[in-house]
Chain A
């Protein structure tokens, strides 16, 4: 399952930066566990895991992301 920047956190044209992955690539994550934080204009947003499984991170810390971007996957 792809992990995408949720539609409800950023404005359409806003850029955000990934600040923390709370789980490393290759580690198991449980559905609804705190997974990643992103920051836009000095405000932090968090996203929880959409599913349980092994995390694969595509966009690491400091990557610039937008609404809808795929930043990783869970398999």
Chain B
């Protein structure tokens, strides 16, 4: 028992609080997206904002990502600091020209004369049977393309700090939040994501990974939901006397390769957990970052526990069969 109330927040509330505090400080910050106003966001991350800031700054949009993400880019270039929600990352197809040919590149095209200080917040992940166009992660798709920062928090503390840093950043930032970590019951909530979150404003530096559990025998690297699966696997391995270190990437761009390399130097073994598709993605990039640096630190071939290269099934048993989990991570260790 403690005397002070632990201030546990869900990621949804932590995101809303970061946005609220930045909006109180900076009149250039505003939010646009589908159902982000009266409903408070289908994933709860803009709750309470319409009541405090009104419909000029908390703008519900028509269902046209093409239009409102394009409008966000224009507003950012014109001196505003928009936060635009792409409700499901899966919908990126209809707005990628605005995201990738404009938002990410206009700073380069203008020789640095135009800044695009825009945040796109977008939901990722499945596990609750919402089909192949509502359940993807697409981390690698966004992280692959230069010109944008990409973050993906695993808990409320990091979500608040990363959102604050993203809003203040002069570069465009893709803020990818996993639906299963939001604290929304119907999405299959992971309780480990709901952690103590200070009320005062703070930043978590974009581009810094974190060792969330120290160990000596194997390094498990993950992001978002993968961190929680990694921690559960570490518990199972610990029961057998195996000491796993768990690294939470937190940011994909910039990628904190040094923290991963330093961990593998200690453990000699690497497992990457990624809920995005396996091929051409995050898991390959992490492994390459280590072996490119110094392959002699590896005591076993690295392993990855990622989503198989198939469209995500709707049927629950089939989707669950495909998703990474703690048991698959333990099996990967046993196969090393």
Residues of A within 8 A of B (CB): 17-20, 22-23, 26-30, 33, 37, 39, 42, 44, 54, 61-62
Contact = CB atoms under 8 A, between A and B. Distances in A.
27 contacts: A17-B185, A17-B186, A18-B185, A19-B184, A20-B10, A20-B183, A20-B189, A20-B191, A20-B194, A23-B6, A23-B8, A26-B1, A27-B5, A28-B2, A28-B4, A28-B5, A29-B5, A30-B5, A33-B5, A37-B10, A39-B184, A39-B185, A42-B186, A54-B1, A61-B185, A61-B189, A62-B185
A8 B85 CA distance: 31
Given A27-B6, A44-B184, A19 B1 contact: no
A50 to B, nearest CB: 14
A19 B42 CA distance: 15
B9 interface: yes
Contacts of B8: 22-23
Contacts of B10: 20, 37
Instruction: Report the 6 A-B pairs with minimum CB-CB distance, sorted nearest first.
Output: A19-B185, A22-B8, A39-B185, A30-B5, A17-B185, A20-B183
Interface string B1-43: 1111110111000000000000000000000000000000010
A26 B9 CA distance: 18
A28 B3 contact: yes
Nearest to B10: A20
Contacts of A17: 185-186
A17 B183 CA distance: 12
B207 interface: no
A29 B183 CA distance: 20
Contacts of B6: 23, 27
B131 interface: no
B282 to A, nearest CB: 29
A23 B186 contact: no
A14 B191 CA distance: 25
B186 A22 contact: no
Given A19-B183, A42-B186, A61 B9 contact: no
A27 B8 CA distance: 12
B215 interface: no
Contacts of A39: 184-186
A57 to B, nearest CB: 12
A62 B189 CA distance: 9
Given A20-B183, A20-B191, A27-B2, 10 more contacts: A17-B186, A18-B185, A19-B185, A22-B8, A23-B5, A27-B5, A33-B5, A39-B184, A61-B185, A61-B189
A62 B186 CA distance: 9
Interface string B162-179: 000000000000000000
Given A20-B189, A20-B194, A28 B183 contact: no
B193 to A, nearest CB: 10
Nearest to B4: A28
